[in-house]
Amino acid sequence: MVIFMGIAVREKRKREEVLFRVREEKKKEKKAQYIDRSKLLGRALSLIKEGIVIMDPYGRIVFTNRFARELLGIDENDTGKFFYQVIKNFDVVSLINEAFNESYRVWNDKKINDRYVQVIFGSDLDEKVLLLIDQTPMRKYENLKKNFIANASHELKTPLAALKISLETLEDVCRRNERAIKYIKKAQERIEYMEQLIEDLITLSLLESTNLTLKPKKLKLLPIINSITSHLMEIAEKRGITFSVNVDENTEVCADRKLLHAALKNLIDNAVKYNRDGGRVEITYIKHQNEDEVRVCDTGVGIPKSHIPFIFERFYRVEKSRSRKMGGTGLGLSIVKLAVEKLGGKVRVESEEGKGSCFSIILPRRCGIISTDD
């Protein structure tokens, strides 16, 4: 009986040994397959033009592809070291530090070694990934486009000015011919529209210029508003529209004069243009804890809800004919949005069809240099 039991135990051990060896073989095989697959993946990822850095939850480098290594100055043997020990670009190290405990963050147009890069940081429990997308070629193309628009606009100014003078002369010559005068006036209106279009295009390309450095400083708000309303007074008076300005003469906001002027001019201009005859334009300053708000309200036609998401797009008009009749180019609100964003602020709109609209410019109160070429 004892002998039989001993044989059974030995048999069992043998079986267990065989099973263990089979399992070990399978593990080795799987590991080899895993290494093969990760090598293949590594090689494939090195071929792509986007940079990839994979880190463990503590920030130690697990994987880098070729583009990321070239861009960030990482050595191929730096695996296992902390990102801040191996990434040579200080800005990128700061960005990772900034977002280290977040799940997702995107920075656009970060300048890394003369290249413009979109930096994306993603993180979960097991790893942190940094994705670097080179936007330099796209940016070059966009700059080319912007320069072309700016140059073409400046070129158009000269023949238009000549045309304007010719029409003035013609107006003098045809003083007694009513029909001719009617057509000359129409042509003059078209020229004015084209001049405004050119001005707006130049302003837009200036605002889009990548190396625009702004120096926001404390500016008195009231003189800027007064200079805009006095320019619009003639048109407003003709239609019985009144201005009501609720801004203290000492009120200051932090902005770049040209940009703030452009934004407010377009908002106040719209408040007059899209008002009803005999209506009112109210301009109010509201002080918030860390922000300044300038609110432009009118008693005009209002904007249907379905159109509101689109009114800041270029050339978008709710009612084309009304805008054209008023000499609108459809670029005003895109200028407002870009200018305010360049100042680090935001634009808000509330509107009720048939009752009126309120547009608000909200600016941060801190004053410092804002460079768009970061």
Ligand X SMILES: Nc1ncnc2c1ncn2[C@@H]1O[C@H](COP(=O)(O)OP(=O)(O)O)[C@@H](O)[C@H]1O
Applying CB under 6 A, the residues found at the interface with ligand X are: 266, 270-271, 273-274, 298, 300-303, 311, 316-319, 323, 328-333, 357
The CA–CA distances, whole Å, from 110 to 116, 214, 242 equal: 5, 18, 47
The site for Mg ion (CB under 5 A) is made up of 270, 328, 332
- 348 three-state secondary structure: strand
Q: Looking at beta carbons, which residue is closest to Mg ion?
A: 332
Are the C-beta atoms of residues 351 and 295 closer than 8 Å to each other? no
Q: How far is the CB of 207 from ligand X (least distance, A)?
A: 14
In this structure, what token pair is assigned to residue 363?
């600016």
Q: How many CB atoms lie within 10 A of CB 80?
A: 10
The site partner of 301 among ligand X, Mg ion, none (C-beta below 5 to 8 Å per kind) is ligand X
- Which CB sits closer to ligand X, 327 or 344? 327
Q: How far is the CB of 323 from ligand X (least distance, A)?
A: 3
Picking from 308, 312, 302, 310, the residue whose alpha carbon sits closest to that of residue 279 is: 302
The site partner of 317 among ligand X, Mg ion, none (C-beta below 5 to 8 Å per kind) is ligand X
- Which CB sits closer to Mg ion, 332 or 356? 332
In this structure, what token pair is assigned to residue 153?
């606009």
The site partner of 329 among Mg ion, ligand X, none (C-beta below 5 to 8 Å per kind) is ligand X
Q: How far is the CB of 224 from ligand X (least distance, A)?
A: 18
Packing angle, helices 332-342 and 257-273, rounded to 10? 150
Longest dimension (CA), the chain: 138
In this structure, what token pair is assigned to residue 338?
């870009």
The site partner of 252 among Mg ion, ligand X, none (C-beta below 5 to 8 Å per kind) is none
- Which CB sits closer to Mg ion, 122 or 302? 302
Task: Give 82's DSSP letter.
Answer: B
Q: How far is the CB of 311 from ligand X (least distance, A)?
A: 4
- Which CB sits closer to ligand X, 330 or 364? 330
Q: How many CB atoms lie within 10 A of CB 50?
A: 15
Q: How far is the CB of 359 from ligand X (least distance, A)?
A: 7
The site partner of 91 among ligand X, Mg ion, none (C-beta below 5 to 8 Å per kind) is none
Q: How far is the CB of 238 from ligand X (least distance, A)?
A: 18
- Which CB sits closer to ligand X, 129 or 326? 326
The site partner of 318 among Mg ion, ligand X, none (C-beta below 5 to 8 Å per kind) is ligand X
The site partner of 65 among Mg ion, ligand X, none (C-beta below 5 to 8 Å per kind) is none
Cα-based torsion angle of the residue sequence 79, 85, 89, 90 in order, rounded to the nearest 10 degrees: 150
Q: How far is the CB of 73 from Mg ion (least distance, A)?
A: 49
Are the C-beta atoms of residues 245 and 280 closer than 8 Å to each other? no
> Exposure pattern of 106-130 as b/e (b: 16+ CB <10 Å)?
ebeebebeeebbbbbbebeeeebeb
